[in-house]
Amino acid sequence: MVACPLQKGVAAAITQFVYQRGGTIKDYDQYVNTDSRRFFARMEWTRGGDASSQDNICRDFIAELVEPYDMEWQLHFPEHGARVAICVTRELAHLYDLLLRTISGQWNATIALIISNHPDLAPEAERFGIPYHYFPLNKANKREQEALQVDLLQQNKIDLVVLARYIQIVSEAFITPFENRIINIHHSMLPAFVGAKPYHQAHARGVKLIGATSHYVTVELDAGPIIAQDVLQVDHKKSPERLISMGRDLETKVLARAVGLHLNRRVWIDQGRSIIFD
Amino acid sequence: MVACPLQKGVAAAITQFVYQRGGTIKDYDQYVNTDSRRFFARMEWTRGGDASSQDNICRDFIAELVEPYDMEWQLHFPEHGARVAICVTRELAHLYDLLLRTISGQWNATIALIISNHPDLAPEAERFGIPYHYFPLNKANKREQEALQVDLLQQNKIDLVVLARYIQIVSEAFITPFENRIINIHHSMLPAFVGAKPYHQAHARGVKLIGATSHYVTVELDAGPIIAQDVLQVDHKKSPERLISMGRDLETKVLARAVGLHLNRRVWIDQGRSIIFD
Amino acid sequence: MVACPLQKGVAAAITQFVYQRGGTIKDYDQYVNTDSRRFFARMEWTRGGDASSQDNICRDFIAELVEPYDMEWQLHFPEHGARVAICVTRELAHLYDLLLRTISGQWNATIALIISNHPDLAPEAERFGIPYHYFPLNKANKREQEALQVDLLQQNKIDLVVLARYIQIVSEAFITPFENRIINIHHSMLPAFVGAKPYHQAHARGVKLIGATSHYVTVELDAGPIIAQDVLQVDHKKSPERLISMGRDLETKVLARAVGLHLNRRVWIDQGRSIIFD
Amino acid sequence: MVACPLQKGVAAAITQFVYQRGGTIKDYDQYVNTDSRRFFARMEWTRGGDASSQDNICRDFIAELVEPYDMEWQLHFPEHGARVAICVTRELAHLYDLLLRTISGQWNATIALIISNHPDLAPEAERFGIPYHYFPLNKANKREQEALQVDLLQQNKIDLVVLARYIQIVSEAFITPFENRIINIHHSMLPAFVGAKPYHQAHARGVKLIGATSHYVTVELDAGPIIAQDVLQVDHKKSPERLISMGRDLETKVLARAVGLHLNRRVWIDQGRSIIFD
């Protein structure tokens, strides 16, 4: 994926980069913001007979594209599956859904470890042979525990952190090293119902829709770039318990969509807004 | 439609009321709130050979049902189509949609008059032969103009007032005589984006859904019982102008749904929440 | 759940059955088909202090309700969680989703065994400690293998059979003993695209929606009562592979919804149509 | 809009065409079919100070883009609003919705005339001052009446024909002169329920969704390129009459979406599939 000022020949140069090496483009998508006159593109290709090392491809990519066109860029090779960490509290559904998608090969990714502020889900981690790191958290130890968590994530070369109903507000020290690489699921339509117990609020107000939002985590609470959102129609017959259950399914689906878009390198962040190449 | 404490034989009594008069039930729906132990039912029937006057039916209904079972109730006869007033500013789409549905007989209702704080749509009213009342509004004259509007509505025996993108906050003096009989369309998912320019806010935040909410108007702004809500998926490519256009279609649809539910007597308000018999 | 001719006092009698035993109704829903004048109700209650045996409750239920009102009926006690068998071929996603929902206690059910015509998923069954029965199938042995499968299901007192992308057409001998207790997921909007490769068909026709349908299995192929259906918007950019992946998520969701409705006893079959108490 | 073989510099050439004339690109979208290695793009621009005649712009467009890159192409100028003919039978809703969108300026189009095989809607045409052409149709006169209709459409320089619940099968002689310029609304999810009374079929089968499809008309019935589709969730409580009413709203919405995409030049047909630049 690349972003650069809109300029003559840039799309041609990108696709040509593949063709002159004998590669085949599997997917190409671009977006031109005609206000800011910036150009954004995502390209996915197979290399064909090109046996260059990854380092050489990167070097050429920089020389032929990044520098001449003043690009911001990301280059990913399928040989490196993403290493994912999942932070949970006690909710199992989101974790299972993420496990399934990695185990079954839907995503080119490995769940390298699980972090939790509760011990409850350790047996599930064991069932799947995934290291489970229990960090009891309270106000007094939060700062030092988060420092340990960041160490753990960095030592394990984690590419993506997923907060899968992790009932903790993570602080700036945790967020900064993983900018645009921490994905959260919020159990409502942001920007509404910021805060707690949205399903009870929804029931009391008689709302006809419940929603879920998955977004990158930024220091400002629940204000990061939105990756995916969806809603369900509900009615007055649904108790708060049923809304919670329906909401759980919706959250799982929206989180999977957001994580999948990220892992398939379909999300680009431009000035706090997400561009989704879907 | 009736509401009463849950008690032995009430559903039977209601349906029996029809059968013993030789009528045929076309539609029957009920809801039991098992928390408050209250019973709610909606029944629609054809009278068959019963030639009783409406007054006699009402009297029997009260004697046999309302009093024995301590009911709140509404009884409607199809001979009385609803008389609707529409308040507009300059937006045409919502008005047309409402006109179509009455003209084509989708609803058992007549649009008796149009009120506006702008003269722009007067020619459209004329095209359909509907009286158009222009009330210029400013801070100084608002109180007296609203008094005149309420007089106009009452003299015309208006059953339902629809605020179809009426860009005015109506005051308590206007609302109180028409409790649960004023329907508004709000161009966002309530309870989010309370206030102005939601589509611009949505674009700036990169939200993936836009919404619309139709609700009864209460003195507290945008906080009345919700009748209908819906959303549309959008993406980063949509300019604020396209969001406005897509939003207009969504608003029209949601408003029509809410007004239709009201006119077909499918909405009951219970402690600030709407029960929709759909 | 009960179904009976519409008659005086039946709703009252049902709710009274609970109240006179000191129970509390958690959920009550009914539907009156005013064409056939039949009454359908679903009630969920907690017993309170009532210490009667299940046999006594059944006996009273029959004496006080079933016989006087000529009811068809089902009575379920939460002490008996449903015993579910899942038939799979090679697809993992649907299986995992069903496993999660039983393991996490979302459903009052146990997955008692897995049947497959392929050995591939045996290690996953082992991971969860669930017996995996591999039945190689071909034209010559199908009749006898199905007989063995039916034996296995009956010996294990299976209440519900879920065909979770089981790529086999089951025959009448398999279906008959489990009438309205076999749920299938079909990877399209029935009644369209009956048959194979719907996502490739969809791509070639340029359709804008893909769908999934979950239904009870009847002897007529893909024609049983529909329990749940849903669709996704797609566009020309989606390759058949992406449609398959999106379709898999949709199927999983629709199948879970159907199985959940069945297990929570929210589905009643009336003359080949499903009535969903939701 | 253009389509051409994928080749070096084509995207740059297109955008450059605007910039070198001092224009501003309002919207640019492209799609690369990496299987067929064909390139498709849609660009919308404002001309800025460029005072060239339309003829000159066309000439340059051909010389600089169409010929060098072997393009299929369409070029539209906002000065020429589209001239639309609507064919109706007796259904009013779709007609009104189309009228509103042209009258209110949502679309850069004029409804030039209405054709009908029934006289019923003539008064509505008169209300809006639109010529209404009544063509009684039967087996004997169909061929000659259709010839007259084609003459009428051509004399009125009609760009787009909308079949808005026109209950007639149009023949090849009608279709051929308006290839990819006749839009129909089909009251079901194609490719399902080809044929009559889909809502009654849907009710009888207990389907949980009803759909609508808008497509270009081709000689093969209901098999033309699909432009827009959508569905609504329904349940067992809905009578065929309510399904018809809900379906009418859905059809209106889907037809408006399809016509809007066409009029805003967002649809390109490639080998029988629609590419939607949305």
Span B18-69, pLDDT tens digits: 888 888 777 888 888 877 888 899 988 888 777 788 889 999 999 999 999 9
Helix axes C93-103, A93-103, angle to 10 degrees: 150
Residues constituting chain D: 278
Residue of A27, A96, A277 to mutate when probing chain C, most C C-beta within 10 A:
A96
pLDDT of residue A30 exceeding 90, the answer is: no
pLDDT of residue C196 exceeding 60, the answer is: no
B253 to chain D: which residues are within 8 Å by CB?
Answer: 249, 253
Span C89-124, pLDDT tens digits: 999 999 999 998 998 888 999 999 999 999 999 999
Span B91-133, pLDDT tens digits: 999 999 999 899 888 899 999 999 999 999 999 999 999 999 9
Give the pLDDT score at C222.
Answer: 75
Q: Which residues are CB-neighbours of A215 under 8 A, at least 6 positions away?
A: A183, A184, A186, A190, A222, A224, A225, A226, A227, A258
Most confident listed range (B154-158, C30-34, D76-80): B154-158
Give the pLDDT score at A235.
Answer: 86
Residue of B207, B235, B275 to mutate when probing chain A, most A C-beta within 10 A:
B207
Give the pLDDT score at B191.
Answer: 43
Q: Which residues are CB-neighbours of A130 under 8 A, at least 6 positions away?
A: A99, A111, A112, A113, A114
Give the pLDDT score at D138.
Answer: 92
C2 to chain B: which residues are within 8 Å by CB?
Answer: none
Stretch D70-84: mean pLDDT: 91
pLDDT of residue D111 exceeding 80, the answer is: yes
User: pLDDT grade, residue A202 (50/70/90)?
Assistant: low
Q: Is A32 on the interface with D (CB under 8 A)?
A: yes
Give the pLDDT score at D193.
Answer: 46
Q: Which residue has the higher pLDDT, A127 or B203?
A: A127
Torsion angle in degrees (nearest 10) through CA of D98, D99, D104, D108: 60
CB-nearest partner of D106 from B104, B245, B256: B245
Stretch A84-95: mean pLDDT: 95
Task: State percent of chain C over pLDDT 90.
Answer: 51
**What six digits make up the tokens of A193?**
């119902």
Output the CA–CA distances (angstroms, integers) from residue A192 to A199, A204, A213, B190, C242, in the order listed. 12, 15, 10, 8, 32
Q: Which residue has the higher pLDDT, C241 or B205?
A: C241
**Which residue shows structure tokens 């409607």?**
B76
DSSP-derived 3-state class of residue B25: strand
Chain-chain contact of B106 with D253 (C-beta, under 8 angstroms): no
Give the pLDDT score at C193.
Answer: 46
Helix axes D240-263, D93-103, angle to 10 degrees: 30
HSE-up (13 A, CA, CB side) for residue D20: 11
Give the pLDDT score at B196.
Answer: 52
The residues of C that are catalytic are 222
User: pLDDT grade, residue A195 (50/70/90)?
Assistant: very low
CATH superfamily, with its number, for domain C2-73: ACT domain (3.30.70.260)
Span A102-143, pLDDT tens digits: 988 889 999 999 999 999 999 999 999 999 999 999 999 999
Catalytic entry in B60, B159, B222, B230: B222
Span B252-277, pLDDT tens digits: 999 999 999 999 999 999 988 889 99
Give the pLDDT score at B193.
Answer: 46
Give the pLDDT score at C110.
Answer: 95
CB A115 within 8 A of CB A149: yes
Span D134-177, pLDDT tens digits: 999 999 999 999 999 999 999 999 999 999 999 899 999 999 99
Please provide the DSSP assignment of C2-15 as one string. EEEE--TTHHHHHH
Span B129-181, pLDDT tens digits: 999 999 999 999 999 999 999 999 999 999 999 999 999 999 999 999 999 99
Stretch D183-201: mean pLDDT: 65
- Nearest Cα of chain A lies from the Cα of C102 at a distance, in angstroms, of 11
CB-nearest partner of B34 from C8, C26, C233: C26
Span B63-89, pLDDT tens digits: 999 999 999 999 999 888 999 999 999
Task: Give the integer Cα–Cα distance in Å for D186 and D230.
Answer: 11
Chain-chain contact of A30 with D30 (C-beta, under 8 angstroms): yes
User: pLDDT grade, residue B217 (50/70/90)?
Assistant: very high
Q: What is the mean pLDDT of chain B?
A: 88
CB-nearest partner of D228 from C190, C208, C273: C208
Q: Which residue has the higher pLDDT, A214 or D31?
A: A214
- Cα A173 to the center of its chain, rounded Å: 19
User: pLDDT grade, residue C197 (50/70/90)?
Assistant: low
Most confident listed range (B105-114, B187-196, C28-37, C73-82): B105-114
Task: Give the strands of the sheet with B24-33, arranged side by side.
Answer: B24-33, B38-46, B2-5, B72-73
Catalytic entry in D60, D70, D151, D222: D222
Span C176-186, pLDDT tens digits: 999 999 999 98
- Kindly provide the b/e burial profile for residues C12-49, where b requires at least 16 CB atoms within 10 angstroms of the residue's own CB: bbbbbbbbeeebebebbbbbbbbeeebbbbbbbbeeee
- Nearest Cα of chain D lies from the Cα of B104 at a distance, in angstroms, of 7
User: pLDDT grade, residue C25 (50/70/90)?
Assistant: confident
Give the pLDDT score at C245.
Answer: 87
Task: Give the integer Cα–Cα distance in Å for C153 and C215.
Answer: 20
Chain-chain contact of B25 with C15 (C-beta, under 8 angstroms): no
Helix axes C198-205, C240-263, angle to 10 degrees: 130
The neighbours of chain C, by the rule of 3 or more Cβ pairs under 8 Å, are: A, B, D
Give the pLDDT score at A201.
Answer: 65
Give the pLDDT score at C12.
Answer: 76
Break chain B into its structural domains and give their ranges. 2-73, 82-276
Q: Which residue has the higher pLDDT, A221 or A245?
A: A245
Give the pLDDT score at A132.
Answer: 98
Give the pLDDT score at D115.
Answer: 97
User: pLDDT grade, residue A191 (50/70/90)?
Assistant: very low
CB D256 within 8 A of CB B253: no
For the domain made up of A82-276, give the CATH fold: Rossmann fold (3.40.50)
DSSP-derived 3-state class of residue C183: strand
Give the pLDDT score at B252.
Answer: 94
User: pLDDT grade, residue A241 (50/70/90)?
Assistant: confident
Hey, which residues 236-255 in chain B have their CB within 8 Å of chain D? 237, 239, 245, 249, 253
Q: What is the mean pLDDT of chain A?
A: 88
Q: What is the mean pLDDT of chain C?
A: 88
The neighbours of chain B, by the rule of 3 or more Cβ pairs under 8 Å, are: A, C, D
Give the pLDDT score at A176.
Answer: 95
CB C45 within 8 A of CB C89: no
What phi and psi, each to the nearest 5 degrees, are found at residue C44?
A: -125, 125
pLDDT of residue A99 exceeding 60, the answer is: yes
Give the pLDDT score at A37.
Answer: 83
Task: Give the strands of the sheet with C82-88, arranged side by side.
Answer: C132-134, C109-116, C82-88, C160-163, C182-186, C209-216, C226-233
pLDDT of residue D9 exceeding 80, the answer is: no
Q: Is C36 on the interface with B (CB under 8 A)?
A: no
Q: Which residues are CB-neighbours of D253 under 8 A, at least 6 positions away?
A: B249, B253, D212, D230
User: pLDDT grade, residue B220 (50/70/90)?
Assistant: confident
- Nearest Cα of chain D lies from the Cα of C40 at a distance, in angstroms, of 12
Span A171-186, pLDDT tens digits: 999 999 999 999 999 8
DSSP-derived 3-state class of residue A262: helix
- Nearest Cα of chain B lies from the Cα of C210 at a distance, in angstroms, of 16
Q: Which residue has the higher pLDDT, D110 or A239?
A: D110
Q: Which residues are CB-neighbours of B150 under 8 A, at least 6 positions away?
A: B173, B174, B177
ipTM score of complex:
0.80
